[in-house]
Amino acid sequence: MSDTITNPLDDLATDPFEVARQAAEQLAEKTGVTKHDIALTLGSGWGKAADLIGETTATIPATEIIGFSAPALAGHVGTLRSILLPNGKRALVIGARTHYYEGHGVRRVVHSVRTAAAAGVETMILTNGAGGIKETWKPGTPVLISDHINLTADSPLEGATFIDLTDLYSARLRGIAKQIDPSLDEGVYTQFRGPHYETPAEVQMAKTIGGHIVGMSTALEAIAARQAGMEILGMSLITNLAAGIQKTPLSHQEVIEAGREAESVIGALLAKIVGAL
Ligand code: 8IG
């Protein structure tokens, strides 16, 4: 199977920031909103937040915007939504994440983040469903991402672009989240390539090198967000304990169900956090 519609990002001669600028322009035209303030990428389990944070003023199929791809997974929503928050700010909800494991290259993975930056966004909220290494975390627990370990051996940065990643996941924003919910724990997100889940030995490796969360997204996006100068809040919904930490095999179905059960609670939590930014 091959894409019949070509994506300009796949041509290495194309400047990905120029594509993002064009995407932001199309987004402004289609939504009627010339500047967005906050963007949220909603991963598995986090979708409800979009309905709770404010009034949706426009819903755009992501495929209508240059550089975006159709979602690879049924159940992943391929839309971009513009939302008016009660405090008057404008939020862009990205329900169309392109995963690294899809194999379309890292430019497509971070295009939504670069588009958000080009649309004027200063605060990037990255959420995901992930596996937990800490045994005290039950499926359905939301946790703050404090830092990451990128095990993809890839980067969204091209050429000799050196970007500082100290305080990548803003301590200031984590502080605001903890004011809303003091019970929020935090941990180091470890991005594997996927799409297979880890072996128990790989989970032990992640634990040994300082990881607490295992997932297949977010780290590459956070790097691109930092390059673009945005402040980043990262949150994981622990939908399963990582392989070998939980004694039963992992199933995608179990992950979906844990997400569904936690959806209302974490959606309301995220809405409160967004309202406080
Ligand atoms: I949901 O256990 C979800 N995503 N790598 N490992 C990795 N990604 C995940 C997991 C997990 N659960």
Write down all domains in the chain, each with its CATH number in brackets. 8-153+164-276 (3.40.50.1580)
pLDDT tens-place string over residues 129-160 = 999 999 999 999 999 999 999 999 999 999 99
Q: For the chain, what percentages of helix, strand and coil (3-state, to nearest 5) are there? A: 35, 25, 40
pLDDT tens-place string over residues 79-126 = 999 999 999 999 999 987 899 999 999 999 999 999 999 999 999 999
Nearest CA to ligand 1 atom 4: 130
Nearest CA to ligand 1 atom 8: 215
| pLDDT band with cut points at 50, 70 and 90 for residue 23 | very high
pLDDT tens-place string over residues 196-238 = 999 999 999 999 999 999 999 999 999 999 999 999 999 999 9
Nearest CA to ligand 1 atom 11: 131
Higher pLDDT, 147 or 2: 147
What's the pLDDT score for residue 69? 81
Strand-strand pairing, 38-41 and 90-94: parallel
What's the pLDDT score for residue 72? 65
62: amino acid identity, one letter: A
Task: Return the bridge partners of 149, or none.
Answer: 190
Cβ of residue 169 lying under 6 Å from some atom of ligand 1: no
pLDDT more than 90, % of the chain: 86
Task: Return the bridge partners of 240, or none.
Answer: 131
Q: Which residues are catalytic?
A: 198
Distance from Cα 241 to the centre of ligand 1, integer Å = 9
Atom of ligand 1 nearest to the CA of 190: 5
1 has a pLDDT exceeding 70: no
Distance from Cα 81 to the centre of ligand 1, integer Å = 26
Question: pTM of the predicted model, to two decimals?
Answer: 0.95
Cβ of residue 198 lying under 6 Å from some atom of ligand 1: yes
Higher pLDDT, 45 or 39: 39
What's the pLDDT score for residue 78? 86
2 has a pLDDT exceeding 50: no
Cβ of residue 110 lying under 6 Å from some atom of ligand 1: no
Distance CA 91, CA 70 (A): 22
Distance CA 207, CA 137 (A): 14
User: Which of these, 133, 146, 168, lies nearest to 244 by C-alpha position?
Assistant: 133
What's the pLDDT score for residue 73? 63
| pLDDT band with cut points at 50, 70 and 90 for residue 259 | confident
Atom of ligand 1 nearest to the CA of 240: 12
Atom of ligand 1 nearest to the CA of 132: 2
What does the mean pLDDT of the chain come to?
A: 93
| Average pLDDT for 15-37 | 97
Distance from Cα 131 to the centre of ligand 1, integer Å = 4
User: Which of these, 193, 201, 229, 196, lies nearest to 116 by C-alpha position?
Assistant: 229
